[in-house]
Chains A and B, each alone.
Chain A
Amino acid sequence: MNPCTFELSSTEGKVSVADIRGDWVMGNTVPGFQSVKQLLEKQNCEQLDLKSDNLGHWDSRFVVFLFDLEAYCKGQGIVLNMEQLPDSAQGLLHQASAFPVRESGQKVLHETALLVQIGQHALGLYKQTQDMLAFVGEVCLSSLRLLRGKACFRQRDLWLIMQECGPGALAIVTLISLLVGLILAFVGAMQLKIFGAQIYVANLVGLGMAREMGAMMTAIIMAGRTGAAFASQLGSMRVNEEIDALETLGISPIDFLVLPRMLALIIMLPLLCLYADLMGILGGLLVSATLLDISVVEYFIQTKSALDLNDFLTGLIKSSVFGVLVALSGCLSGMQCGRSSSSVGDAATAAVVAGIVSIVVADAVLTVVYQIIGF
């Protein structure tokens, strides 16, 4: 490739001549416009003739240079004579300046002061809370319609969603809760061994799973699995204007889309939780039977005496609440999704974050409440 040059000849009168040489293509070094600008400022000419007899290959890079040069000359009142340039380059330049610049279209980018930012955040938070409450309200109204038998959704959808978020999640719930039971048993066994009270591992695992970990772990799994799925399903329906289509037909998207998802999770999460409880206890049994010399029968008798149905009930109540929270945060983020494809991803993220935070907070509150009422 021939090196590119932009040579200004000495001024004859008020007319400068610039000789453009070389291959002005990507991959070659091209004189920057800034350096040429400095040369031009020294010349102080009134007309600039461009000569391109020795111009080799050129691409957009050359035209961009001319584009900048033209804008500069216009600003300085210099007459730019481009008649000797290749026609196609002139054509492109002409095309680029053919459209009027729309002043109203300009986007204003301004930096905001810290206080303003804080204020905007606070207002945004207020608006978010408002939206959330409005959504919860709508869901309540929709549930009332359901009770009166007036809610409109397809039963088939409900069954499909139930299958997806119930049996579909069995494998991962099995794995996680078995491991959690195992971990609880290990941690407990180390401490209880000191007192020779290894048999109480059964109590620890049983109570831990039934009252706390079973509900918590399934809820967190479902927040990551189903909550995110809800958000992206509803989000992409928003992007495809499917939700608008429902609304224009007079079908409430809350009834049609949110309600079956909520119902499915409220029904399936306690069932999964019960299953996780049993799997966790099985995990504890594995550790006890293999490492602590406790027989299977002993472990079962101990577990049976340590747990009563109320313990399972506390966990089940928790998991129903978690079910509502996961479904709400998933559906809320989905319904609030923007209209571009990247906002679907944001909605899924928001759903998982909101889901997990609300699960942990609700768990803390419920545990305290249980303590107070002695449940």
Chain B
Amino acid sequence: MKQVHIEIKGLTMAYDDFIIQQDLNFNIYKGDIFIVMGGNGCGKSTLLRHLLGLKTPAAGDIYYNDANLWKISEAERKKIMRANGVMYQSGALWSSLTLAENIALPLKEYTDLSEDEIKGLAYFKLALVGLVGFEEYYPAEISGGMKKRAGLARALALDPDILFFDEPSAGLDPLSAKLLDDLILSIQASLGTTIVVVTHDLPSLFAIGTDSVFLDSISKTQIAQGPPKELLNGCPNHVVQQFLSRGMNE
């Protein structure tokens, strides 16, 4: 029996009066690679911001291991947020710091490791994503794909319980996208991390996803749930079928 890691209960997301999604109910289980999918503008990234605790829900609750994210004290929420690693869409590396310093910053803030150990850890995390030799580079000096990988290295800095990815394969060539997928799989396999991926990249979501939720921008709620491959074969919903087959199964 899989353990629930994050539970979403009756979540409604809105900007002021404008509702993005409502009545979202699903569980993210420990060790899963959970895909949040849907068309452009359906609120995938907004959902991510809610899960990360960056935005307050208009209604409903988000539970992390039974802790209600918005009913606990701010200090506890910060603690939960710190255990999340996030890879933002374009890396979101701090441009005034080198890659090594980018990874060292959270370590310096939250651990009591020595300078040498931090350096060693930063080197190791960069090695994990294949960026050995780029420690002293500034984010502006490397390519988009490398920025994403460096962003992943920074997300891994504090050994997070949950890793969030916002559009990991957007802007990458097919091969680099596949490499990143492999990387996500092997990190999941060796660390057992729960991984949440926001994406609409079909090859990638079929390759790595073990569970998913489909957000629809017209009905403004979730219309399908389950492993992506099963959805492709068995989901009766027309919109989901079209999405997953790139409009082929008309």
Contact = CB atoms under 8 A, between A and B. Distances in A.
Say what secondary structure dominates the interface of chain A. Answer: helix
B125 A60 contact: yes
Interface string B56-89: 0000000000000000000000000000000000
Interface in A63-85: 63-64, 67-68
A88 B117 CA distance: 21
A153 to B, nearest CB: 30
Contact of B124 (A32, A96, A98, A105): A96
Contact of B186 (A68, A95, A340): A95
A373 B105 CA distance: 61
Interface stretch (B36-44, B47-55, B133-141, B225-233): B133-141
B95 A342 contact: yes
Contacts of B136: 107, 109
Given A59-B159, A63-B124, A101 B190 contact: no
Given A98-B130, A109-B136, A26 B113 contact: yes
B191 A341 contact: no
B134 A95 contact: no
Interface residues of B, number: 33
Nearest to B141: A107
B127 interface: yes
A107 B99 CA distance: 12
B14 interface: no
A91 B189 contact: yes
A92 B128 contact: yes
B101 to A, nearest CB: 13
Residue of A59, A87, A99, A103 ringed by the most chain B CB atoms within 10 A: A99
Given A64-B120, A64-B121, A88-B189, A96 B111 contact: no
Contacts of B173: none
A96 B128 contact: yes
A339 B111 contact: no
A121 interface: no
Interface string B115-155: 01100110011011111111011111000000000000000
B134 A107 contact: yes
B140 A338 contact: yes
A372 to B, nearest CB: 48
Contacts of B171: none
B128 A101 contact: no
Contacts of B187: 92, 95
Contact of A99 (B112, B132, B140, B190): B132
A109 B136 CA distance: 9
A113 to B, nearest CB: 20
A27 B191 contact: no
B132 A101 contact: yes
Nearest to B139: A340
B120 A340 contact: no
A13 B144 CA distance: 52
A70 to B, nearest CB: 11
B112 A107 contact: no
B151 to A, nearest CB: 15
Given A95-B186, A340-B140, A342-B95, A60 B159 contact: yes
B192 interface: yes
B111 A26 contact: yes
A88 B188 CA distance: 10
Given A63-B124, A88-B191, A91-B189, A341 B130 contact: no
Contacts of B186: 91, 95
A97 interface: yes
A60 B121 contact: yes
B96 interface: yes
A352 to B, nearest CB: 19
B103 to A, nearest CB: 11
Contacts of A63: 124
Nearest to A63: B124
A89 B159 contact: no
A374 to B, nearest CB: 53
A68 B137 contact: no
Nearest to B190: A91
B196 to A, nearest CB: 20
Contacts of B117: 32, 61, 64
A346 to B, nearest CB: 10
A267 to B, nearest CB: 36
Given A99-B127, A341-B95, A27 B112 contact: yes
Given A59-B159, A91-B186, A67 B138 contact: no
A342 B111 contact: no
Contacts of B138: 340
Contact of A60 (B116, B124, B183, B192): B124
A102 interface: yes
Nearest to A102: B133
Given A60-B159, A92-B128, A106-B133, A27 B111 contact: yes
A301 B131 CA distance: 77
B4 to A, nearest CB: 22
A38 to B, nearest CB: 15
B191 A67 contact: no
10 contacts: A32-B116, A59-B159, A60-B124, A88-B191, A95-B183, A99-B129, A105-B133, A106-B133, A340-B138, A340-B140
Interface of A: 26-27, 32-33, 59-61, 63-64, 67-68, 87-89, 91-92, 95-99, 101-103, 105-107, 109, 338-343
Given A67-B120, A107-B134, 16 more contacts: A26-B111, A26-B113, A26-B159, A32-B117, A59-B159, A60-B121, A60-B125, A88-B191, A91-B186, A92-B187, A95-B186, A96-B124, A99-B132, A107-B137, A338-B140, A340-B138
